[in-house]
Structure 1
Amino acid sequence: MRRYSVHVKPKSSKQGVHVLEDGTLEVRVHSPPEDGKANAELIETLARHLGVKRRHVSIVSGETARHKIIEVSDV
């Protein structure tokens, strides 16, 4: 399993993943941070970026925060 430190930017005009200097992944999503919409889009965006299926990506901590720890299970 791999773990990633992620900073989420909801309601962004552009969607994408960028690696910051400290190794944190900055993920921009279109969805607002309500009703789990931003988290769902975050998982989908990260899965596509990492080349894995959505079911292999999970939020370990920070469910309601912008800074999250994401775990990607080995395929």
Structure 2
Amino acid sequence: MLTIKCARCKAKLFKYQKIGSGHVLKCHKSRMKRVHQLEKNSQMYLCTCGSIIGKDEGSHIKMIRTAFTYTGTKE
């Protein structure tokens, strides 16, 4: 389980169940377990500090690589 955090303010955004050992490029909405401080503004997902985290692509979020950090283990 990964904890996704904002790279700018270090606030916890959500917990994510990552399957596989690859990079976190897409986050499937069905694998998001607990949402902390993630806001949706039209087609973009934002942190409460205003930083853009990713773009809504329907069933998943296309993440901006430099906008977030993560801790935890991948399955």
Question: What band does the TM-score fall into relative to the shorter chain?
Answer: under 0.3
Relative contact order higher in (CA < 8 Å, ≥ 6 apart):
2
Question: Given the two structures, how large is their TM-score scaled by the length of structure 2?
Answer: 0.28
| Structure with greater strand share of residues | 2
Question: Given the two structures, how large is their TM-score scaled by the length of structure 1?
Answer: 0.28
| Structure with greater helix share of residues | 1
